[in-house]
A and B are shown apart, each in its own frame.
Chain A
């Protein structure tokens, strides 16, 4: 029997009112502004932009405020918002070689042209709580030094000159877009990179770590990690030329991995690639490691049964909004489903009891 029920409207309204009050917290404490979140919670804002797949620091900060700091909820809000926007075009691929770098390090070449530039990093901090931050304190401006202007070349370019690293294949001018067409497997590398760029940081970190621990055997060096701003150029069809509509901050990671060679390729280094909105270097490194693990087929390597090599596994589970949507729906009313399960268990038990009782009666 199926009985449609309706109710809970007032309970839901009141729950949302209480949520709003709880979000605000103690009224004796000043309310956070969106600008404060944007400026002082910048790395949370960057994560929401990257996984929300929409570059807009103000909107990401607003989403974090509304979500009470729950970043996956904030990403959900951004994903929902972006579906309301008309698509006004696509940029030309950004030129990361021309990036205005604030950070650029290489774990493979000490004396890389352009140098090792640490930028505003947590590396080499002692990870001790700074109790001075519990009080309001003014921060002096960071030291400056004379800078050499001009682009900083990619480090893999030097290896490429000697033919020691595999060259990147050119692709179609219009890459597949998984926000427009459903994901189809096997996926091309551009499609995989799109999925990884918006994938969950924690999930990709875990998978990347698994490759380091031996699942897929891909010892990676960070050939280069760079953070900085690039220009976004968009063709304006009415005018017949492209203009720079924005400068956005990106993190790029290129890994260099050993490759023993195959029937068609000489022994050389291969690459993994990570590119993510904002200052998001843990995510960019993770993305590069997982990208490399997923490339086993095109490089003629063996499938070792590792999760990070399995594109169906990786691409179907990397999206935290898909994952949380399916996971969290099981807390919503399933009264009818459960009712049928309950009846089934009761019937089986009754049959089992009957079966137990009958042999006794026969004796």
Chain B
């Protein structure tokens, strides 16, 4: 039910990955890593909207509508013709535009450089933040011990 199988469509799997990284990035961090925006034509200017987030009844059963979240989407085209898409969390239009630009550039011969300069730091930082939270949670894990009982 989750992502595309990496074996059957590696390009799509790769693109899903970077689009997700860009969507979840903090806008200020993406701006710092990718400050210069290349020339582009806007196909769909950044638009703020809502997505209905769904859950499963009982965690595994019938889908239900949990509530909405804000998102911003954008579609643009580079001078070379590559079309970039973005749908990012929150209401930051510049974030959506930058994410779409990176998505478009990842389809050009600059992909390797962009991956190293923008995506890899974002992935590493997200992993580090996640690891820190997991480590703090692990420190609050209860270690049970049994008290010595009288009857033995």
Contact B66 A177 (CB under 8 A): no
A233 to B56, CA, bound (A): 14
Q: Is B69 interfacial (CB-CB < 8 Å)?
A: yes
Contact B138 A117 (CB under 8 A): yes
Of the listed stretches A16-24, A66-74, A247-255, A347-355, chain B binds A247-255
Answer whether A175 and B65 are a contact pair too, CB < 8 Å, given A100-B133, A142-B139, A246-B89.
yes
Q: Which residues of A contact B55 (CB under 8 A)?
A: 93-94, 96, 193, 197, 250, 275
Contact A102 B56 (CB under 8 A): no
A251 to B90, CA, bound (A): 20
A273 to B63, CA, bound (A): 13
**8 Å CB contact of A246 from B59, B60, B69:** B69
Contact B141 A116 (CB under 8 A): yes
Contact B59 A273 (CB under 8 A): yes
Q: Which residues of B contact A96 (CB under 8 A)?
A: 55-56, 59
A144 to B129, CA, bound (A): 13
Among B70, B73, B132, max chain A CB count under 10 A is at: B70
Answer whether A193 and B57 are a contact pair too, CB < 8 Å, given A175-B62, A245-B23, A246-B23.
yes
A175 to B16, CA, bound (A): 26
Smallest CB separation, B94 vs chain A (Å): 15
Q: Which residue of B lies closest to A90 (CB)?
A: B52
A-B pairs under 8 A by CB, number: 245
Count A-side interface residues using an 8 Å CB cutoff: 87
Q: Is B149 interfacial (CB-CB < 8 Å)?
A: no
Q: What 12 new A-B contacts, CB under 8 Å, besides A96-B59, A172-B63?
A: A53-B67, A55-B69, A58-B91, A147-B137, A172-B62, A176-B65, A188-B62, A189-B62, A191-B64, A231-B20, A234-B51, A275-B55
Give me the interface of B with A, judged by CB distance under 8 Å: 1-4, 12, 15-16, 19-20, 23-24, 47-71, 73, 75, 85, 87-91, 130-142, 144
Give me the interface of A with B, judged by CB distance under 8 Å: 49-50, 53-56, 58-59, 82, 85-97, 100-103, 110-111, 115-121, 142-149, 154, 156, 168-179, 188-191, 193-194, 197-198, 231-234, 236, 238-239, 241-248, 250, 252, 254, 271, 273, 275, 277
